[in-house]
Amino acid sequence: MADAPLPQRTLVLVKPDGVRRGHVGEVLRRIEAKGYTLVAAELRRADEALLAEHYAEHAGKPFVQALIDFMRSGPVLAAVVEGHRVIEGFRSLAGATDPTVAAPGTIRGDLARDWGTKLIENIVHGSDGEESAAREIGLWFPAL
Ligand code: GDP
Ligand code: MG
Terminal CA-CA length for the chain? 31
Domain ranges for the chain, please list them: 9-140
Distance CA 112, CA 91 (A): 15
Predicted ipTM beyond 0.95 = yes
Please identify, in words, the CATH class of the domain defined by 9-140: alpha beta
Question: Measured from the CB, is residue 96 less than 6 Å from ligand 1?
Answer: no
pLDDT tens per residue across span 39-89? 999 999 999 999 999 999 999 999 999 999 999 999 999 999 999 999 999
Q: Whose CA is nearest to atom 23 of ligand 1?
A: 63
Q: How many CA atoms lie within 13 A of 27 on its CB side?
A: 34
